[in-house]
Amino acid sequence: MKRPDTPACALILGFAAALALLYAPAPSRASLPDLTLAAPRETPLGAPSAIPAPSLAPEPLAIPVVPPEPPLPAPPKEVAAEKPPSLPAGEVARLPAAESPVPSFSRGSGDQKHVALTFDDGPHPIITPRVLDELRARGVKATFFVIGERVKSYPWVLRQVVAEGHEIGNHSYSHRLLSGMSEEMIRREVGDTQAAIRDAIGYETCLFRPPYGAFQPNANAIFREYGMNVIRWSVDPRDWRNRDAMLISNRVMRESRNGAIILCHDIHRATLQALPVILDTMLGEGYVFKTVSELCGLPPLRIITASHAPSRSASEAKN
């Protein structure tokens, strides 16, 4: 079979393509993409701003936004308790001025061989005068811390004490423990005794010995009101417990040192019996007996001599 010529075939195919283009429908304008760009806009300053090309990505779904709840307030911080200011080493906390201690003595200076002999809980109508006899016989002066109730009962004994040159101190009105009392009760214990002493001898004292040697700081303001010096002791023969004259005297002589304040009681017979041995032995050893004021360097109390001592009333003489 004879193949057709190539030029003739090409002519026939070109004629067919031309007829297809002639009779094909024309495309609409809407079906063509708009390839034109909008003219650039000008900003107020005249600078053109680029318009972004439209995004072909689908728009995300609109999700409602719920505002977050406000945070809860933080719990208040605990405020640490303020610590008291620390004190430098060697210092101690000081009491308020109203409670600061008044001058207090339990002994005197140890420079010399001086001691003070004291008697508590009197005056006693029988024993105190006999104690005075022993002291007078040796030229010894002592200090007597008296109970207000006893002063009211035996004022003439107190007058005899001061008439012989001895010293008087306040030992409360009822000899009750001050540390368990209110300020008002302490004031009565001190003040009523001061009044009883003044009524008996014409003046008051500035020496105070607390019963049992104890009191609370609230008593300091009261002592200060009365101008008191607190007097305790350094030698206690415990004659209030052991009624043995030899035991009492041995303890006094064994424990006494220069500047000692010796505690005794002029209401016990055993103390009266021990007194001559105490006085004679200590005087023989070179001790000098002083009043508390002399031993501690305090201003001397007023001394009433025998010629100026108040006379006993008729009612007192009967007792």
User: What is the Cα–Cα distance from 157 to 135, expressed in whole angstroms?
Assistant: 15
CB contact at 8 A, 197 and 158: yes
Catalytic residue among 120, 121, 192, 239: 120
Separation of alpha carbons 11 and 18, rounded Å: 11
Q: Is 111 tagged catalytic?
A: no
Question: Helix crossing, 155-163 with 183-201: angle to 10°?
Answer: 70
Residues 6+ apart with CB under 8 A from 230: 101, 102, 103, 104, 105, 208, 209, 210, 223
| Cβ contact 208:228 at 8 Å | yes
CB 118 within 8 A of CB 290: no
120 is catalytic: yes
Q: Among the options 124, 166, 265, 268, which is catalytic?
A: 265
Number of Cβ within 10 Å of residue 294's Cβ equals 17
Instruction: Using DSSP, state whether 290 is helix, strand or coil.
Output: strand
Q: How far apart are CA 268 and CA 157, in angstroms?
A: 16
Among all residues, which ones are annotated catalytic?
120, 265
